[in-house]
Amino acid sequence: KKLGFAIVGLGKYATEQMMPAFKDCKHARITALVSGSPDKARKLAAEYGVDAKNIYSYQNFDSIKDNPAVDVVYIVLPPGLHAEYTIRAAQAGKHVLCEKPMANTPEECQRMIEACKKAGKKLMIAYRAQFEPFNLDAIERIRKGELGKLRMVTADHGRQVQPDKDQADTWRVQKKLAGGGSLMDIGIYSLNAARYLTGEEPVEVTAQEYSDKSDPRFKEVEDVIHFTLRFPSGVLASCTSAYSIEGVKRYRAYGDKAWLDLDPATDYYKHQMKIGDKDGERQPQIKEGNQFAAELDHMAECVMQNKTPKTPGEEGLRDIKLIMAIYEAARKGKPVRV
Ligand code: NAD
């Protein structure tokens, strides 16, 4: 059985990564589109076999409640709009899959969780890396003790944000729509990885930030941020993100017996693992898998089997709370306990 998904926001990620992934899904299919651009929506509806009567605008979106072809609303809008559309979807009686970062503030996240709870609907945050085979393999090796006792994690995510060249980057430099800068958008991968690699929640954060205020990209949002996380077991994670460097999406976990490196770690299609110990380095061969389809199928299965998603609203909220603590630590120049 396949559940019907409505795609809200037909931007770069939705059209280039997620919509094509539905062809590999066992339990999810696209049955509706929500867009501010009727021409784009009609074209994509024809391409994906979506009935033209299931095209909605942002204005008439709430009438999706009368459409039994839609089980799940998948929100792929800028983060500043996630809360509004999640709440409207829940009030329309639909389950919600929402892109990361969950929202701009913990208060918004809380309202999203409450709206879905009140409506008796599932809420999942689209942390695709938690459905990606190399990342899952890394987690399993660490849990089985292959690295010995875990001591440190390092994680870096960066790229050149190009609002002049890439339409999808225009909202990324606007605080109201993006919530923040590199930390919110891609540093969240470093943060989330440090949490899923350790399997622990940090108790303290420190941070430093640097943004060249003469660069028009960084008038409203931060560029470079370096943060550390202290975990209860003693593991220290050292993480970075930046919007002014060439592409990096890597992490490394260090145990007292071996280290494990993923570079790229959080790419769409290409991953590479290395493990090193006193005897040298090796590259375990792991099969690439469609993380996007796995994520969509997981959402559908949770609805069909009435299960809590692996990455529920609470998971999104945890990262947003930590991001706020990281910003606070950077502002104050002091550690913040969480
Ligand atoms: P995008 O700008 O290409 O897409 C956003 C869409 O929202 C556009 O179609 C735009 O028209 C629409 N929109 C509606 N109202 C808007 C408004 N008031 N202002 C601006 N846009 C408005 O951006 P994107 O890169 O596709 O990102 C969309 C979402 O997906 C974000 O939440 C982003 O964090 C997330 N994302 C996730 C991943 C991932 O790997 N999980 C990757 C990229 C983006």
What integer pLDDT is reported at residue 127 of this predicted model?
98
Compute the distance from residue 9 Cα to the ligand 1 centre, in Å: 7
Atom of ligand 1 nearest to the CA of 77: 7
Distance CA 301, CA 309 (A): 9
* Token output for 79: 């983060």
What integer pLDDT is reported at residue 311 of this predicted model?
98
- Nearest 5°: CA angle at 89, between 87 and 94? 125
Give the residue, by CA position, lying nearest to ligand 1 atom 8.
11
Distance CA 100, CA 298 (A): 16
The best mutation among 7, 8, 10, 12 to test binding of ligand 1, ranked by most ligand atoms within 8 Å of the C-beta, falls on 12
Give the residue, by CA position, lying nearest to ligand 1 atom 17.
78
What integer pLDDT is reported at residue 306 of this predicted model?
98
Task: List, in sequence order, every residue forming a beta bridge with 249; answer none if it has no partner.
Answer: 157
Distance CA 25, CA 257 (A): 39
The best mutation among 59, 74, 76, 125 to test binding of ligand 1, ranked by most ligand atoms within 8 Å of the C-beta, falls on 76
Distance CA 312, CA 97 (A): 9
Atom of ligand 1 nearest to the CA of 82: 32
The best mutation among 15, 109, 171, 298 to test binding of ligand 1, ranked by most ligand atoms within 8 Å of the C-beta, falls on 171
* Token output for 205: 């954060």
Catalytic residue among 189, 196, 243, 327: 189
What integer pLDDT is reported at residue 211 of this predicted model?
98
Give DSSP secondary structure letters for 281-293: EE--------HHH
Distance CA 101, CA 189 (A): 10
* pLDDT tens per residue across span 1-28: 999 999 999 999 999 999 999 999 999 9
Distance CA 258, CA 278 (A): 8
H or E segment and range at residue 299? helix 291-304
Q: Where are the domains of the chain?
A: 3-127+292-307, 133-288+320-337
**Domains 3-127+292-307 and 133-288+320-337 fall in the same CATH topology:** no
Give the residue, by CA position, lying nearest to ligand 1 atom 9.
11
Distance CA 27, CA 154 (A): 36
Distance CA 204, CA 220 (A): 26
Is 189 marked active-site?
A: yes
Topology of domain 3-127+292-307 in CATH is Rossmann fold (3.40.50)
Residue 142, C-beta contacts closer than 8 angstroms, at least 6 positions apart: 150, 197, 198, 199, 253, 255, 260
**Which residues of the chain carry a pLDDT beneath 70?**
none
Distance CA 266, CA 189 (A): 8
State the complex-level ipTM: 0.99
| Closest alpha carbon to 205 in 113, 299, 338, 10 | 338
* pLDDT tens per residue across span 50-59: 999 999 999 9
What integer pLDDT is reported at residue 78 of this predicted model?
98
CA 226 to chain centre: 19
List pocket residues of ligand 1, CB cut-off 6 Å. 9-14, 36, 76-79, 81, 99-100, 126, 128, 168, 171, 177, 185
Topology of domain 133-288+320-337 in CATH is Dihydrodipicolinate Reductase; domain 2 (3.30.360)
At 40 the three-state DSSP class reads helix
Compute the distance from residue 257 Cα to the ligand 1 centre, in Å: 42
Atom of ligand 1 nearest to the CA of 127: 41
Atom of ligand 1 nearest to the CA of 10: 9
